[in-house]
Structure 1
Amino acid sequence: MKVYTTDQIRNIAIIGNAGSGKTTLAESMLFEGGVINRRGEVTSKNTVSDYNQIEQDFGNTVFSTLLYTEYNNKKINILDTPGMDDLCGGVVSSLNVTDLGLLLINATNGVEAGTEGAYRRAETSNAPLIFVFNQLDHDNSNFDKSLEQCKASFGNKVTVVQYPLDAGPGFTAIIDVLKMKMFKYGTEGGKPEVLDIPASEKDKADELHNELVEMAAENEEALMELYFDQGSLSEDDMRKGMKMGMLQRDLYPVFCTGAKKNMGVGRLLEFVSNIAPAPNEVPMRKIIDGKEVKMEAGDKPTLFVFKTTIESHVGEITYFKVMSGTITEGLDLINSNTGNKERLSQVFVAAGKTRDKVDKLVAGDLGCTVKLKDTKYNASLSEKDADTKFEEIVFPTPRHTIALKAVNDSDDEKVGEVLNKLKFEDPTYLIEYSKELKQLLVHNQGEYHLNTLKWFFDNIHKIEVDHIQPKIPYRETITKSEQSDYRHKKQSGGAGQFGEVHMIIEPIIEGSEPKKMFNIKGKDQKIALRDVQEHPLAWGGKLEFVNSIVGGSIDARFLPAILKGIMEKMEEGP
């Protein structure tokens, strides 16, 4: 592969509801760029993106997958993301390292829950968007209704650049109101003929073209003046205005595809290569510590890790974005999170499970390396003494919790090891052992997330586990004073053992002091307050531990053991 400069790189994330055709679109993009010579299909389980066995079994993308294609003298890095909301971690990480989102709309369903979720995550990441209306060749496809729903949900920023001619099973043509041409495809897709717009569509195309010109002109005063003077804009001026509008999230261009038959994909790639922002045209990721760097190939090398996986026979694979400088094989960097040195023994570009070795990657590019010692997602790597640290990705907090228990007690330790590996790859899991409940808790995103968890235990690790509802942490508190005593007496053949202990428990009333008089064996007795310690409790509140031992009747060395026993009993409950 040739070495691309920063301004020749485009980084895009394909997002949207499950079933909108994201993986199929990615497959056609790789085919258009010549990275593959034959398009796979999700149903045939042979796509470049969905190469994991779990994805082939589920029929859905489970992990975000790094791909690339080459088009129009540009390298376009693609992150194909899951559509199920339970698997949102891959969407979040992808939007944090790309510069443009392709939001897919299933034209048979319009705006779906996953569409809105993907849009919100793009909004949080401040990512420019292109709306791609896909599956226009399917039964019940309805472009106009889907467009109306998008405008109602996301506003009039959703602006038509293309619309289909005869959406449905007979779909073979796309009207492009930027180029003012019609792209005509064969019934099985392929390369289109570029034709004049039919007379029957001319009025509609002119109206949409004028709307697009106005939207493009609104983004710069000079373009607006030119528009008022000439009544229109050249295609180059429109590109300039559209790019500014996309960067400001004031314009969401609408494109049309039938990705399964590779209809409209080449034109979409052309638009991305010409108008989508390069990595140095968007704001740099925030630096929270260390030396400042710029998105330039000549600056000091830094990278940011957005994804880590474990592959059998290979080990850990680390996916990163080059934030500055040039990354080369054999480069030594410091993990700014841990302070440990890491050597990039090899540098790769990735298309699914295929990794191609390259000599170097420049600022803005995405790539991967293998066998780093102590680096995972959210790590920043930089040269010694630079200590540049980038803002970390904030992953969604868990929404659901289950307790996990190995069916065979001998597998308990293995269960913990498997969970740690899964969390290494998916940071939206939170693993916790609850001392209070005495259960291993897996905080997760929901039922589908749990289904993937079960699949890994069943199919990869061959460990049988039960999913159990977590116990309810019922809690009790002291409401009145009580006291207890215990007499220990043991004859061991020598001097023997004898001891008598009295313990008094009472509720704490803020501002009050421990009582100094208690009734012991029917007699009121004054108690000395030798020492009062406060111990915060993990579940809330505090324990006041009052030492009233006098005369050395109990050795002070036993006091920590007494306190420990009280704390353990409090945690256990009655």
Structure 2
Amino acid sequence: MNVFESERIRNVVLLGHGGAGKTTLVEAMAHVTGVTTRQGKITDGNTISDFDKEETKRLFSVSTTVIPIMWEGIKINFLDTPGYFDFVGEVEEALDVADAAIIVINGKSGVEVGTQKAWDFCEKHDLPRIIFVTNMDDDNASYRQIVEDLQGLYGKKIAPFHLPIRENERFVGFVNVVKMKGRRFLSLSDYEECEIPDYSMKNLELCREALMESVAETSEEYMDRYFAGEEFTYDEISIALRTHVMDGSIVPVLMGAGVNGQGTTMLLQAVEKYFASPEKLELSGTNAVTGDIFEANYQDANPLSVKVWKTLVDPFIGKYSYVKVCSGVLRPDSALYNANKEAEEKVAKLYVMRGKEAIEVSALRSGDIGAIPKLTVTNTGDTLSTKAVPVVFDRPAISKPYTYMSYKAKNKGDEDKIAGALGKLMEEDLTLKSVVDKENRQSLLYGIGDQQLEVVVSKLFNRYKVEVELAKPKIAFRETIKGKVKVQGKHKKQSGGHGQYGDVVIEFEPSGDLEKPYVFEEKIVGGVVPRNYFPAVEKGIQESVLKGPLAGYPVVGLKATLVFGSYHAVDSSEMAFKMATILAVKKAFSEPDAKPVLLEPIASLKVSVPDRFTGDIMGDLNKRRGRVLGMNPDHAGNQVIEADIPMSELIGYSTDLRSMTGGIGDFEYEFTRYEQAPSDVQAKEIAARAAEE
């Protein structure tokens, strides 16, 4: 593959709802431009993008794929991202290196939640965008409705560039609203000029008016001329569109049919014309030694700096670190420095990835995207540069995983294999996290949603030949007492020779501090328990609170005061007093006056949803024993509901929230404190732990 100058490169991320047609569209562009001789189909499992076994099996994308396509002397790096929300980490990685976006909308399904999330991503990352309505060959596709819905959401910046032409209920061409010319499809995306049908004139006037309004909005002069009834020339329209699509103030709407390849030529033309090449953009990092700002700006003349934005670890094709060159020129046999790890890396070869195909290249210039194989210490988010000018760029903002399940090996002895395999999957997916919960003797797997965790289990089996079982996780309860009791603990044993004798009387009561397991005091008068046995008594309490008598959970908030006891000059020992204390703790928790209780962890929850869902969300939170504390608007036009809720009630919440809101709701939480669990929850948990023991 040729080496492309920065001005001949475009980096474009494909965004949209799951099933909108992103992969089919990029497959069609690859076919139209001659990358493939036959257009692959998702249903056949032979597309360039969806090469992973999980993708071919499930018929949707689970990871971002790079598909470079050459068009009219430029190289367009298309980043085909998953549309399902569980795989949002892949989208966020791609957004970190994209310079522009195409939001794909299914003409039949219309504007969906994923469309709006795609738009929000573009706003957050300040990306210029084009909207492409695909599946226009479907009888139920409604381009006009989609444009109206988009304008209702995003206003006058939505500019329809196309209008469909249908004959005998078939999609046969389109009207170019900018040039006011008809286009009839020949084969694939080729077309010839044709007359604009009379029946299209009414809709054309509406589209033209919307387009002219978008142009008028770009300057006061144009606005005055627009209201004065003046017409804009084609050159004025073209220059205004080019300038303001690049800065994001105008968003063109194009159309086509990915399955037939229709409309792809116009989309490629639009990408070349309306999206900026990297060298026109700005990017800065930090000099890791001096702390000064490093202006990369995708200039070949600047010192080399490379951002690692994705990692692929595959047992068959090896490990590849996907990179974007931010400044300088990257060549094979380069010695690079990872300032994040303070380690050197060697680049033996350099590749451009097209799906799973690695194409060797002699160099990557500023702004280009490629891959380096077999880096040893470098991970996603790291920066590679020269040791003379060590650079660090900001890491991509990746969503925090809140959904979790416990997991264990199906086959004994596979634990080490599973740990190694999970380590490789976590290298690939930054939203995946494995945590060992020693307290409850369980391993926890965190992700964005249940579907992602299912895919991970499947990958472990198919890639690494290990099987794991997912189960509902155990919740980290605590035990304490609410009342005050005085109990005696006596440990006495005689078996010939020296016996064992320890006798303590301890007052137990709440300490008032649930952050600490216990507080120990002594009020011994007259030496009934010698001072040298006090540490043994405290040791007994220390061991007892690790696993409480109620259900085996750690004890917190306990105050223990040694007030009386007795000893034997020969048989007493530290061990005897420790055992006597352990007996006293157990006895205290069995006393009704001690009012022993289970405490459950409480989380502070924030749920962000549009206004229309707030009633349903608050009703659901009440069912989950949540206490709604308030509701505040956020900057994105949503309501943020704040509530305290037991952690046990958040298991499966991700799936339920998506179901209630059609996928548009988001949530986050963090542990805040422990509170007494209701009696029915306590009884159920104590019975479950007893059965387990």
Bucket of the pairwise TM-score, normalised by the shorter protein: 0.7 to 0.9
- Taking a change above 3 Å as real, the CA distance of residues 501 and 276 of structure 1, as seen in their structure-2 partners, is farther
Q: Which protein, 1 or 2, shows the higher relative CO under an 8 Å CA cutoff with sep ≥ 6?
A: 1
SS of aligned partner of 2:94: helix
User: Aligned pair 1:75/2:71, yes or no?
Assistant: no
Distance 1:149 1:214, change over 3 A: closer
Q: Matched residues in 1 for 2:427 and 2:438: separation?
A: 23
Deviating more after overlay: 190-199 vs 82-91: 190-199
Are 2:480 and 2:558, in contact at CA under 8 Å, matched by a contact in 1?
no
Cα distance change of structure 1 residues 12 and 509 upon mapping to structure 2, 3 Å threshold:
same
Partner residue of 2:312? 309
- Of 34-43 and 207-216, deviating more is 207-216
Residues 1:514 and 1:442: Cα distance change in structure 2 (over 3 Å)? closer
**Contact kept in structure 1, 2:350 and 2:372, CA below 8 Å:** yes
Distance of aligned partners of 1:503 and 1:193 in 2 relative to their CA distance in 1, 3 Å threshold: farther
Paired amino acid for 1:445: I
State the distance in 1 between where 2:397 and 2:504 align: 52
Alignment partner, residue 17 of structure 1? 17
Residue in structure 2 matching 1:468, options 443, 468, 471? 471
Name the residue aligned to 1:455.
458
SS state at 2:377 partner:
coil
Residues 83-92 or 457-466, more deviating: 457-466
Write the distance in 2 (CA, Å) between the matches of 1:17 and 1:163: 23
* Separation in structure 2 between the aligned mates of residue 413 and residue 503 of structure 1, nearest angstrom: 48
Deviation at 1:485, TM superposition (A): 4.8
5+ residue gaps in structure 2?
A: 547-552, 564-571, 586-597, 600-685
The 5 A counterparts of 1:287-306 are: 287=286, 290-291=291-292, 292-295=294-297, 296-306=299-309
Does the CA contact (< 8 Å) of 2:311 and 2:379 recur in 1?
A: yes
Change (3 A) 1:87 1:527: same
The aligned residue for residue 41 of structure 1 is 41
In structure 2, distance between residues paired with 1:235 and 1:541: 76
Aligned to 1:320: 323
Q: SS at 1:97's partner residue?
A: coil
Q: Which amino acid aligns with 2:62?
A: V
- The answer to whether residue 417 in structure 2 is matched with residue 411 in structure 1 is no
**Distance of 1:280 and 1:482 partners within structure 2:** 78
User: Secondary structure in 2 aligned to 1:460?
Assistant: helix
Q: Does 1:64 align with 2:67?
A: no
Offset at residue 98 of structure 1 (A): 0.4
Distance in 2, Cα, partners of 1:254 & 1:540: 62
1:400 is the counterpart of 2:413: no
1:167 Cα deviation after fit = 8.6
Contact 2:300–2:327 at 8 Å: present in 1 too? Answer: yes
Match of 1:98 in 2: 98
What's the CA shift for 1:91? 1.2
> Which structure 2 residues correspond to residues 357-396 of structure 1 after superposition, within 5 A?
357-396=360-399
> Is 2:509–2:558's contact at 8 Å kept on the other side of the alignment?
no
Please give the TM-score of this superposition, normalised by the length of structure 1.
0.85
- Which letter does structure 2 place at the counterpart of 1:132? F
1:32 aligned onto 2:32: yes
What is the deviation of 1:270? 0.5
Q: Which amino acid counterpart does residue 150 of structure 1 have in structure 2?
A: L
Read off the aligned partner of 1:114 and give its amino acid letter. Answer: G
Contact kept, 8 Å, 1:321 with 1:366, in 2: the verdict is yes
Shift of 1:542: 7.8
Q: Distance in 2 between matches of 1:482 and 1:520?
A: 19
1:517 to 2:523 alignment: yes
Contact (CA 8 Å) 1:434, 1:440: kept in 2 or not? yes
Find the aligned partners of 1:330 and 1:497 in 2 and give their Cα distance: 76
| Equivalences for residues 43-442 of structure 1 within 5 A | 43-166=43-166, 170-186=170-186, 189-202=188-201, 204-220=203-219, 231-284=230-283, 287=286, 290-291=291-292, 292-295=294-297, 296-442=299-445
Tell me the TM-score normalized by structure 2.
0.72
- Is residue 507 from structure 1 mapped to residue 513 from structure 2 by the alignment? no
TM-fit CA distance, 1:526: 9.5
Distance 1:167 1:442 in 2: 54
Provide the C-alpha distance between the structure 2 equivalents of 1:381 and 1:507, rounded to a whole number of angstroms: 55
Q: Provide the aligned C-alpha RMSD in A.
A: 4.1
Question: How far apart are 1:262 and its partner, in Å?
Answer: 0.8
5+ residue gaps in structure 1?
none
Amino acid in structure 2 at the alignment position of 1:390: F
Percent of residue pairs bearing the same amino acid type: 27
